[in-house]
Structure 1
Amino acid sequence: MHERLNIYKEKVVDQYASSPEITPPVTPVLLKDEHTQLLEDRKKQAEEDRVKKEEADDKKKEEQEKKKKENAEKKKEDEKQKILQAVNVQLNRNIPTKIKEAFWYSVDVVLKPIEDKMDSVLGNTIDPFTDRHYIAWLSLVTLAFNYNTWFITARLCFPYHSEYAIPFWFAGDTLADLIYLIDTILFQPRRQFVKGGDIITDRLVTKTNYRTSVRFKLDMLAIMPFDLLYLEFGFKSVFRANRLMKADTFFEFSDRLESLMSKAYIWRVIRTIGYLLFMLHLNACFYYVASEYQGIGKTRWVYSGLGSAYLSCFFYAEKSLLMIAELPLPDTMFGQIFQMTNYLFGAFFMSTILIQ
């Protein structure tokens, strides 16, 4: 008990006896000269470190300034090259290019008031895949194209340019041409397109893209006024054959309509029936031309000249292409070749229709 009491007394007296921390080492005692030398060494070392740091900072700053100057010179050189290229492009432009640019500039100036008024109806640009107004317009252009496709061929082969019918044909032709012209001027230049994964909605860019496309060239050929040759050669539908170059509009309308319909097979069936009727229409036209070449009513194989010429020839084309009835045998080599070609084409056409 006495020993334990002494131990506790020592712990109470010594404040570090019960501390869990490690006792710090004893600081060595230096002489005055040694201590002065130590302070000088530390001061010298700190000064060397400061100088090294300043040198490193100055060097880094010089490198940054040098790199910045090089980048500025490179940028300046690139801008100079771009300016030189632009000047070379301007100098190398030939006279037709300058005339073309001046022409389209004048066209844009003339059409600008009309385009500005149509902005409230159509918008600045048109999404050709989802815009219902554009698809409705495509249906109207498709009707104009079908009018030209069916009636140009019929008028070219059958004698339908009578004095009574010419005013009606002229009115229909003018209306179809007006639809073509509106489509080329107001609708097609507004069509958005994708470039580099981005949808381009700038009117100037969409207009430039349209005017540099193959479709624009076909559209311009489709509205060329070859009808003016009526004044020299008479009212002949062959001068409207270029209107058939608007076929891209029909196929575009077909694709857009299929994408919108929930039951697209209905449109496919209607389109296939239309193809079938048009092929029968063409065959009827060829048959009338062949009959006229052989002499109408001269043999049992050609058109007799009685009744409606178109309905009679269409009835023959239906029996010939679909091979659903007996036909009179042709009496001449020309008729035989024509009929064999008809049978061969009819078999090929029917197989194609069945595949669809």
Structure 2
Amino acid sequence: MTEQQKKKGIKCGILRKRTMVKHEVDAKGQSTEKVIEWIQNRFIFSDLLSLSFWKEVIFDNSMTFYEYWSALMSLLVLYNAFFLLARQTYTQLQKDQTKLWIILDYVSDAFYLVDMLVAARIGFIDDGIFVMDPKSTWMHYRKSTKFKIDILSLFPTDLLYFKIGTSYAILRINRTLRISRMEHFFDILESRTAFPNLMRILHLLVYVMLIIHLNACIYFAISLWHGLGSDNWVYPNDNINFAQLPKDHLYQTTIHKYIVSMWWSMLTLTTIGDTDPPETTFAYIYVILCDMVGVFIFAAIFGNVGAMINNSNLVEDEFRMKRDDVKNYMMSRKVSKVLQDRVINWFNYTFQTRGTLNETEALTCLPYYLQAEIAMQVHLDTLRKVRLFQDCEPGLLNELVLKLQLQVFSPGDFVCRKGDVGREMYIVKSGKLQVVSEDCTRVFKEFGEGESFGDLSMLTIPGSKHGNKRSANVRSVGFTDLFSLSKDDLLQALEIYPEAKTILIEKASEILRKDGAIDDKLAKLAEMETTEYKVTTIWQNAKKLKSMSDVNRENQQMFEEKYMERVNAARKSIEDIKNKLNI
């Protein structure tokens, strides 16, 4: 078998596997995310040339390929929007490179056609279900307005080249009907990027530049109609005789014509107005219209940019307001300057590193199951680092992962002190901690990211020498970020998983026994007390059951006696009736 045959066989296998995965997911009714992820990871651009690929593939707006494809189509739309007008207005540009423009135009048309195939394979949501059937996606696309616009944008108006010549690039102006494709691309960018405000500004600037370019082309077309150099308003803003200028003169070059036109358009539409006044009625009307459009553009730019700046500062303004409130409270209560500085430093560090004072607020708008999935991806690995929760059942970890709270400790802050009641456990996210003596003169241990402590004091361990109290003083060296889990949250989760509670207590006992923190006598005494308590509880429950059984027996006896009395009374009544009737 040749190398080419092997490659062909591999490729066919990939396509068959795509079909197999798709049908398997459809048959089982599973999520379509697996199919989409598979296509994203296995897709190669050579697949676009395969008929089998187009028969099977379904695209999704979240796919990386679709983002790149939308970017390419946006560039092609901009190519048609900018260059068709420029080539029609600055005729020398079209005449000098006619072959190049024809090649680029029909390459653009080819991509437009492929884009229709892509649009016909985009999955959609119907009644809450993501539809992946190719026939359904085609029917959905065919009935949409987008399909009609796509057909109009590819209507072969340039066939008129054969009749009136290739100098009329404006015949292809219908290609700009797909401007909404670029709008869709910017929507994707805004939803995917970490800088949405920057994307909105870029989006606005693209449209502004397009309007300025259109106005520049119209200005130069009016100048041609009036006559270049016929007055000081038309190009090149100088009253000269173009017939006497040599062909290589600066005013005769296409690039200079375009730049001067863009300069005039920019000054007019931005309402700067530092240009020569028009000298004809038509020119006055046109300038008035330009000024009106310019006012709207000016207002749109400043309005959108101002709104974006305000939106980007909302979180920072809220942070400053809270910091100022705390600062005013401390000043009014005459808190010491040292403590005030520590509080202010805590505010500044927290906002610089996290961008918010409460990161969980950002997720409150999401449903519970999505919050759980995000928390699992962010915190599950961290929770598994705790030796107490290693090899713990997934259900309990899923419950605990939503309970983790991020706390920030400043330099010198004590996270816990020896003898304190253990109400929380901690996992170090970043920073360094020290285990120090009570007078803080000696450092016994230093630990950092990924370490955990306080987990064993959260449970009541039989025979523990420390009970549920802290066994050491833990101090923050610098700014330290810790994930905390409260005892109440742990016990609440263990009520749902009672078997896990027994396992955790046994595991904690083993850990303490290895560390020499278990008193065997106390453990046996606690076990005996626990056994005695269980026996007593069982005996009391048995007595309660016996008492209830006796009560039930008495009630049953009373019921039987009353029942017999009523039966006898009924019999007597029947006998009396028979006697009266002489039966």
Counterpart for residue 197 of structure 2: 265
Change in Cα spacing, 1:225 to 1:257, as seen in structure 2 (3 Å) is same
Choose from 208, 213, 234 the match for 1:302: 234
Counterpart for residue 350 of structure 1: 298
- State the alpha-carbon separation in 2 of the partners of residues 217 and 333 from structure 1: 41
Choose from 189, 198, 201 the match for 2:120: 189
Q: More displaced, 325-334 or 307-316?
A: 325-334
Aligned to 2:125, the other structure's residue is in SS state strand
Counterpart for residue 52 of structure 2: 116
Q: Which runs of 5+ in 1 are unaligned?
A: 1-111
C-alpha deviations, 1:39-87, integer Å up to 9, x for none?
xxxxxxxxxxxxxxxxxxxxxxxxxxxxxxxxxxxxxxxxxxxxxxxxx
Q: Does the alignment pair 1:341 with 2:272?
A: no
Counterpart for residue 90 of structure 1: none
Counterpart for residue 66 of structure 2: 134
Query: Which residue identity lines up with residue 262 of structure 1 in the other structure?
Result: A
The offset of 1:162, in angstroms, is 4.5
- State the alpha-carbon separation in 2 of the partners of residues 213 and 349 from structure 1: 32
Larger RCO of the pair (alpha carbons < 8 Å, separation 6+): 1
* Aligned sequence identity (%): 28
- State the alpha-carbon separation in 1 of the partners of residues 178 and 147 from structure 2: 10
Change in Cα spacing, 1:227 to 1:275, as seen in structure 2 (3 Å) is same
Query: Which residue identity lines up with residue 138 of structure 1 in the other structure?
Result: S
Aligned to 2:267, the other structure's residue is in SS state helix
- State the alpha-carbon separation in 2 of the partners of residues 139 and 269 from structure 1: 17
- State the alpha-carbon separation in 2 of the partners of residues 274 and 175 from structure 1: 23
Aligned to 2:277, the other structure's residue is in SS state coil
Change in Cα spacing, 1:162 to 1:275, as seen in structure 2 (3 Å) is closer
Counterpart for residue 214 of structure 2: 282
Q: Does the alignment pair 1:198 with 2:129?
A: yes
Counterpart for residue 172 of structure 1: 104
- Structure with more of its chain in strand, by fraction: 2
What is the number of residues matched between the two proteins?
240
Structure-to-structure mapping, 1:1-356, within 5 angstroms: 114-118=50-54, 124-128=57-61, 130-185=62-117, 187-235=118-166, 236-304=168-236, 306=251, 307=253, 308-356=256-304
Q: Which runs of 5+ in 2 are unaligned?
A: 1-47, 237-241, 243-250, 305-583
Aligned to 1:190, the other structure's residue is in SS state coil
- State the alpha-carbon separation in 2 of the partners of residues 325 and 342 from structure 1: 11
- State the alpha-carbon separation in 1 of the partners of residues 215 and 184 from structure 2: 26
Counterpart for residue 572 of structure 2: none
Query: Which residue identity lines up with residue 263 of structure 1 in the other structure?
Result: F
The offset of 1:115, in angstroms, is 3.5
- State the alpha-carbon separation in 2 of the partners of residues 182 and 348 from structure 1: 37
C-alpha deviations, 1:309-335, integer Å up to 9, x for none?
111111111111113352112111112
The offset of 1:343, in angstroms, is 1.7
Aligned to 2:279, the other structure's residue is in SS state coil
- State the alpha-carbon separation in 2 of the partners of residues 284 and 242 from structure 1: 20
Larger radius of gyration: 1
- State the alpha-carbon separation in 1 of the partners of residues 290 and 101 from structure 2: 31
CA RMSD of aligned residues (A): 1.9
- State the alpha-carbon separation in 2 of the partners of residues 204 and 229 from structure 1: 35
Query: Which residue identity lines up with residue 194 of structure 2 in the other structure?
Result: S
Query: Does the 8 A contact of 2:88 with 2:94 survive in 1?
Result: no
- State the alpha-carbon separation in 2 of the partners of residues 148 and 335 from structure 1: 28
Query: Which residue identity lines up with residue 124 of structure 1 in the other structure?
Result: V
The offset of 1:201, in angstroms, is 0.9
Counterpart for residue 85 of structure 1: none
Change in Cα spacing, 1:113 to 1:136, as seen in structure 2 (3 Å) is closer
Query: Which residue identity lines up with residue 99 of structure 2 in the other structure?
Result: P
The offset of 1:161, in angstroms, is 4.9
Change in Cα spacing, 1:162 to 1:198, as seen in structure 2 (3 Å) is closer
Counterpart for residue 66 of structure 1: none
Query: Which residue identity lines up with residue 275 of structure 1 in the other structure?
Result: Y
- TM, length-normalised to structure 1: 0.64
Query: Does the 8 A contact of 2:157 with 2:172 survive in 1?
Result: yes
- State the alpha-carbon separation in 1 of the partners of residues 257 and 49 from structure 2: 49
Query: Which residue identity lines up with residue 86 of structure 2 in the other structure?
Result: A
The offset of 1:348, in angstroms, is 1.9
Query: Does the 8 A contact of 2:141 with 2:147 survive in 1?
Result: yes
C-alpha deviations, 1:297-316, integer Å up to 9, x for none?
01001003625211111111
Q: More displaced, 340-349 or 209-218?
A: 340-349
- State the alpha-carbon separation in 1 of the partners of residues 180 and 266 from structure 2: 28
Query: Which residue identity lines up with residue 243 of structure 1 in the other structure?
Result: R
Query: Which residue identity lines up with residue 155 of structure 2 in the other structure?
Result: M
- State the alpha-carbon separation in 2 of the partners of residues 318 and 355 from structure 1: 19
C-alpha deviations, 1:77-127, integer Å up to 9, x for none?
xxxxxxxxxxxxxxxxxxxxxxxxxxxxxxxxxxx99431356xxx62111
Query: Which residue identity lines up with residue 276 of structure 2 in the other structure?
Result: P
Counterpart for residue 43 of structure 2: none
Query: Does the 8 A contact of 2:268 with 2:294 survive in 1?
Result: yes
The offset of 1:342, in angstroms, is 1.7
Change in Cα spacing, 1:255 to 1:162, as seen in structure 2 (3 Å) is closer
Query: Which residue identity lines up with residue 267 of structure 2 in the other structure?
Result: K
- State the alpha-carbon separation in 2 of the partners of residues 134 and 333 from structure 1: 50
Query: Which residue identity lines up with residue 160 of structure 2 in the other structure?
Result: L
Query: Does the 8 A contact of 2:74 with 2:181 survive in 1?
Result: yes
C-alpha deviations, 1:219-264, integer Å up to 9, x for none?
1111122211111111111220111111221111111111110111
